[in-house]
Structure formats: structure tokens, C-alpha cells
Amino acid sequence: MPTISLSHKLLQEIQYMHGSSYSSDDWLEKLSQIGCVVEDSNEEHIEIEVFPDRPDLLSHETMARAARSFLYEKSQDPAIQVSDSGISIDVNPSLKDIRPVIFGAVVKGVNTGRNEQQKDAFIQSLMDHQEKLHLSIGRRRKFASIGVHDLSKIQPPFRYETVGSDFTFIPLASKEKMSVSEILSKHPKGIEYAHLMEDFDRYPIILDSNNDLISFPPIINGDHTTVKETTTDFFIDVTGTDERACEACLLLVCLSLLERGGRVESVEINGWDNKISLYPIGDAKRHRVPDSLIKKILGLDLEIEEISRSISRMGGELISSRVVTEGVNKSERWSDLVVGEREHVIAMPRWRSDIMHPIDLVEDIAIGYGYENMPEIYSSVHLDAVPLNSSNINRRVRESLRALGIQETQSLTLSCDKDQFEKMRWDERSNVTRLANPITIEHTILRQRILPSLMNLLSANRHHELPQKVYELGTVVLDSKNCNSVSWACAEVTGGFTAAKGYAQALLRDLGAISEDIDWIPTNPNSGPWITGRGARVIVSGEEVGQIGEIDPSVSSEFGLRVPIHAGEFDIDALRKLIQDPVL
């Protein structure tokens, strides 16, 4: 979940613009109800973790707007006024297969603060908001990327077209021209997002009527459009591959500037397909919610006034409550509406991209009504869970290993080549699934074996007393496909190959394997983490299902361990196929 740091001073300033009082005590008490978790609070800042389904709370301004409705019950229009800017963007057909979606907006007369300190805080807050939208709705700029520019430094109309890798311009925070290829290979932002431009020989850019570059999306803006303390009029572009994500990002940036007194103006988009459209659209979205769905999920028979107040606290508006005279439009993603039953027509802000089904509005009604006001009754929805047949072997594996006194753990599926192959002396089992944009060098691939994760776990707990016995039943990834595996590792002075084989025999016996079908074949020297002569490949009905043995001290030392360790790892999918399940 994204975390934002809200400044008390900025929040007070924004609420002051709208004539609202500001009480940090109210915020701390109520914020969790609208999709936030307060991580920390002091005299200057509130650290808030925002739930992924509420990207409309990722800035000071949008948080303040939501709080006015929810905390102070100040109803607000779910629509915003949008006038025509007279500005247009012409989209070249070459963008169709590269980055086809582009939206734009103009916001004028923004109050960025009364002094230099406030203006600096505003600019930093605006940049933080952009990056959080990039990470959440924008999926690291793949679905949507945002550019915010000083309108006074650019000359409309604008063009969205493609250029070759030799095209040059001065990127943001630079003083010298760089080519597109140089930016992708040398500039920090270019290196970070170059994977989004892979396999392209043409690259998207936005130019003004003077042929000055505004943006090279989704990588970086041009330097001359940088927002400064003197900027009050803004041009916003959003490009991407997903229309819904792009529209939500555009509206949320506009909303944050609108909260600061700005006037939102639309931009005409002449699309690559010759369609002409105006964005942003300020009108609210209307949704139809069956009254029976509210009663079924919440167990409440709410009055119209209660529904209206609840949805108003969430920033929406109850338009009408009526009897259905026609069924659902099958093109809509809404639940069935039966002719003759009551429905509620609710208008919600268009930037609430998290609302995709009537159940989302039922949740908003519940939040607005107050969970603390809900009656203490059992749910009227009763669903009996039926276990999957495939889960039976997982249950029996866990029961068997627990009976041996081994503690279950759960670790990340992410790993790295060094842990998976170099330290353990194992070869790759199949094609390795690598992360295109890893965050750390420890998490660059999806693991092919679980045992290295357990070795790291024992290493992290080497200051605790022995014995330490752990196992994990989890996912490994082979040829980009999820597979199931179980591994155990026991650090104990009295352990050895005999103990490792005993644990494996006990597990196979509990699963129902016939001893005559099991063979133990010595592993080749230095083929795996085992001491030579103390490792074995486990064969069931002629097929290898795993390996067991005593860990070589040279391998243990690679993980910072200096105690005897015996371990094993089995392929759950192979065991399921080869051993008859006595339950079925």
C-alpha cells in the first residue's frame, strides 16, 4: 500500500481556502474508516498508508476534499466544472501501436501558496502525487504516465507524434541536449523506464507549435516546461495504454489543483483514429444499485435519507430512488435489476476509478453509515467452503512434517541467482523467470527451489539456540509456470544423512508411498549442496521427486552458518501424480 506524508501546515492551508476547520484529532480518529491507516503522527506530519482501492486519497488536496465530506459532512458536488481552453492535441497515427492513449487538461489560477516556503512545499507535494499515481494506477508508468508543465512556457496547439532514437532535446534538470537513445541508456529516469520502450524503433513525444519538446512520455519532460514558484497556470498531459487509468490520473491531478482555487479547462484530442474528444470530462458517473443488494449484504433496511447521507459523506450524491421499469443494460458491468424492485441511482465522482460494481457502492454506503452503527448480526450470506482435491496432499504434507516437530514458515518467492545456483551448487532446472525491473539485487528472479530460502532463514536466526527445524510448502516457478514444492532444513548437532533419510521416509510413508517403489540414488559430487556421499536423489516409481542429504559445510558457510544441517526438497506435483491418494 502506498504511504504518504501529510504536512499539517499544508492541510490547514487547503482547508482554510474552503472555510473548514481542521482538527488533527478528528483526522486520526476517522481516517481509517475511509481507506487509510495512520502509521505515525507528530506536530508536523501525519504518515498515512492508503489502501490500494482509494487512489483518490494520495495527495494533500484530494485527502482534504474527502475529509470535508466524511468528517465534517459538508456535501460536495461529485462533478467538477470544466470550460473549454481552445487548446488541441493532434495525435499521429504512428502512435496506435506504441502509446495510443493521450488526454490533456489546463488548470489556471492555482493558488500555490502565500510565500516561498509554501510554494516550495506545493511543488514537492505535486511531484509526490504524480509519482504515487505512477506507481498505483499507472502501474509504474506502463498504464499511465503524467506530465505537468508551466503553461506560460509552451505554445499551443500541440502535436503527439513519434521520432527516431537520434532525436535530441534538453531533458528535465539538465543543461545539455541528449538524444533519445542516450536518455534511455544514460539518464537515471531513462534507465529506470527503458523497458517500456523495448522493441520500438520510434518513440512518442509531445511538441508545441514552436516545435519545442514538451514531453518524452513515459520517460521525462523537457527542461523548459518545469513548474516553478511563479507558475499558476498548468498544462497536464497523460499518456499510456489504458484509457481508464489515464482518465483517472488526469482527473486526480486536476482535482488537486482545483482544490487550490484553479479553474479546469478541457483540451481537444484529435485521435490517431480521427475521433475528436474533449478531456477532462467533469460530469459525475451515474450508477444503479438494487435496494435488495444493500439489504442482503449489510442486513439493513435503510431509509432513503440514510442512504443519501451515507453516500454524501463519501463524496457522492443520491439522485433518485425509484421502481425499476426496465432491466439491466447488458453492456454495463452491473448486477441484475429486476423489474418492479426498488433501485437507487447514485452519482459518484468520475475520478473514483475504484467503483466498478454495485458492491463497491454498497461498501461506500456502509462506510458512510458507519461500521460502528451496524447491528451485531450474523451475515445472511452463507457459503459452504469445499476443499479442492489438490489441497489434500498439501494438508497431509503439513501434518506429516509438523508431526516430526518441524515448524512451518513462509518466505518470498523472489530470490536471486547467487542464492539459487551459485551458493547451492545447483544448475538451473529450466528457463529462469527474471524480473524486468528488480528493486534489490537479492530479488531479481522467481525461485526454482525453496531450500535456499530456508538457508537464509536459518542464517537470520543463527543467534538463537539449536535445534532449529523449519519447512515451507510453497510456490516455485519453472519455465514461467507456478509449481508446488516442499522443503525442510534442520540445524541440529545430532543430525546427519540418517536423519535426513528418516524424515523423507516418514513423509513418503504418511503420503501412502509403497517402500518397494522408492529408490535412493547417490548424488554426483558437487552436484547440489550435499556432502559427497551424503546426498541422495529420491526416486518413486522410476521418477525423481526430490533430493535429500547433509549440507556441505562449505555451502553452509556461504550463508554464514557453522552448524550441521540436514535438509530435503520434494516436488509436490510429482508426488501427487505418482502416489495414489488414499482419500480419493
pLDDT in the model for residue 375? 80
User: Amino acid letter at 126?
Assistant: L
- 311, 278 Cβ separation under 8 angstroms: no
Residue 14 has pLDDT above 90, yes or no: no
Structural domains in the chain, sorted by start:
3-72 (3.30.56.10), 82-279 (3.50.40.10), 285-325+333-371 (3.30.56.10), 391-578 (3.30.930.10)
* Number of residues in the chain: 584
Question: 10 Å Cβ neighbour count for 556?
Answer: 20
pLDDT in the model for residue 335? 52
The Cα 129–Cα 554 span in angstroms is 49
Long-range contacts from 295-301, C-beta under 8 angstroms, 24+ separation = 296/380, 296/381, 297/359, 297/362, 297/366, 297/381, 298/362, 298/365, 298/366, 298/369, 298/374, 299/374, 299/375, 299/377, 299/379, 299/380, 300/369, 300/374, 300/375
Residue 284 has pLDDT above 90, yes or no: yes
Question: 10 Å Cβ neighbour count for 521?
Answer: 12
Q: What is the mean pLDDT of residues 555-559?
A: 93
Q: What is the mean pLDDT of residues 80-108?
A: 96
pLDDT digits (tens, 9 = 90+) for 141-178: 999 999 999 999 999 999 999 999 999 999 988 889 99
- pLDDT above 90 covers a percentage of the chain that reads 66
pLDDT digits (tens, 9 = 90+) for 48-79: 788 778 888 888 888 888 888 887 777 889 99
Q: Of 93-102, 118-127, 160-169, 388-397, which range is least confident? A: 388-397
175 or 250, higher pLDDT: 250
